[in-house]
Amino acid sequence: MALRIPQGTQMLKDGYKHLQGVDEAVLRNIQAVHDLSEITRTSFGPNGRNKIIINHLEKLFVTNDAATIIRELEVVHPAAKLLVMASQQQEAEMGDASNLVSIIAGELLQKAENLLRMGLHPSDIVQGYEVASAKALEILEELAVEDVKNVKSKDDLIKAVKSSIAAKQYGHEDVLTELVCDAAIAVMPKEASNFNVDNIRVVKIMGSSLYESRVIKGMVFGRSPEGTITSAKKAKVAIFTCPLDIAQTETKGTVLIHNANEMLDFTKGEEKQMEQMLKAVADAGVKVVVTGNAVGELALHYLNRFGIVVVKVLSKFDLRRLCRATGATALARVGAPMPEEMGFCDIVETVEIGGDRVTVFRQEEEASKTATIVIRGATQNHLDDLERAVDDGVNVIKALVKDPRLVPGAGAAEMELLKRLLAVGERTPGLNQHSIKKFAEAFEVIPRTLAENAGLDATELLSKLYASHHADDSGVMGVDIDSENNGIVDAHGAGILDVLAAKSYAIRLATEAAMTVLRVDQLIMSKPAGGPVAPKKNQHWDED
């Protein structure tokens, strides 16, 4: 009997998906990345549209902030995930321009697709992109038009911060820029390189309008003090992480009471002990007690009697910031703090803002270690979006402290990069020239997107930009979204400036993401592990 020869061997477990080759793997990956970058592209620039996103917890987001959009979308495609990681890295490092990363990476891959269809090998494209990326970063350094010489000067900071905030909240940029710059100057240390983003806090209080927002030197907590004492001046502050309450034993005990006197005396020992502990705190000169935990009624009674303000701060991060702002040490036991463990605050008061009572810790004398921007607005979604714009503005200042150089915005820097890189491509021999030229052409997507989102004729506007950039080498002409000056504007003269460091980082990350996707030639996916079936969504969720 003849032995049966098996037809092909099975190397992988059942259920594996195996995609390979240019058509199955590379082009599909490019398409996935392009689809993701198209989602964020319409949210780019001052006229970028908002997205409504409902995440898996049914929380609603209305925003045009690319970092938030990408974070809340549950992207499953492995190639698109690479782009998500690049955008998140930009957000972590620079706090701004995460949309630039996804747009440039998507466009680079779109251009690479044309080269692949022409017959170029992915490795040739990657090689050309590497050369072009290094050259683009060199050219970008030459495009710097201005330096922020003094980061403690409000006028200098406004120049850099305004365009970043205008991209998120067009129309409100003047108010928000003022708030961000005031807060930054209030907390700017003597050595500017030690500037910490965490020292600027945002408190959102619903009601009124954005124009009622203000900066408070110090910390603001969105709740009133626990006791009857609501303010203190020139106060010593003690901060506890433990509950201010009678300690509960771990085991249950039974107490046998024989007569009425024993019943009356039962809790007196505990009361006396609590009184002694809190009296020791008051004798140390403490006027304000902050706790990160519960406050018992008995403890509150004695603290009120001793005239001490009691504030409950439930966030351990806020407790840590308050320690930094007042110079106190957080104590894990109730008792009199040592002199070096106590903090100091000029004014602790309860203020009413739009019907909400908030507690303010304010330092009047010295330069404050913390500043809080109190934002007002009509809806919670609007307040959240304003907070994101403020966050971007503060991160721009962090980037400026590292590198004070500014480049023209409004797509002017990208058009100049396009012009100079095309010239480099013309001079390059071999196959690399195709990739370098396509890399250069990818930058055209930025001015085109700005024009499209503003509702202008992108083709006509781009031809004007090409003409003006080839006419002179200053490289400052960009897209005028108000379309008064013939569609183009001198970005430097109009004060539309971007931070060089953020743009440089975005180009580097976008190129890396695009090249990583191009280097992939196979997708091997195992079968997902089985589990309980997720509940189906209610189809009529948006109906009343």
pLDDT tens digits, 493-544:
777 788 888 888 888 888 888 888 888 777 777 777 766 666 666 666 666 5
> Can you give the pLDDT at residue 493?
75
Average pLDDT, the chain: 78
For 116-140, write each residue's pLDDT tens digit.
Answer: 888 788 888 888 888 888 888 888 8
- Bridge partners (DSSP) of residue 356 are 353
Q: What is the mean pLDDT of residues 391-416?
A: 83
> Can you give the pLDDT at residue 400?
82
Per the listing, tokens 């900066």 go with 215
Q: What is the mean pLDDT of residues 387-410?
A: 83
Answer yes or no: are the C-beta atoms of 324 and 334 closer than 8 Å.
Answer: no
358 token code pair: 């908030």
C-alpha to C-alpha distance for 382 and 50, rounded to whole angstroms: 11
Fill in the amino acid letter for 329.
Answer: T
Whether 238 shows a pLDDT value over 80: the answer reads yes
> Can you give the pLDDT at residue 7?
52
74 token code pair: 């549950």
Whether 1 shows a pLDDT value over 50: the answer reads no
CATH of the domain spanning 17-146+408-525: 1.10.560.10
Per the listing, tokens 């140390």 go with 284
| E strands in 332-433 | 343-353, 356-362, 371-377, 405-408
C-alpha to C-alpha distance for 332 and 203, rounded to whole angstroms: 27
> Can you give the pLDDT at residue 538?
66
> Can you give the pLDDT at residue 392?
82
Whether 226 shows a pLDDT value over 70: the answer reads yes
Q: What is the mean pLDDT of residues 37-60?
A: 82
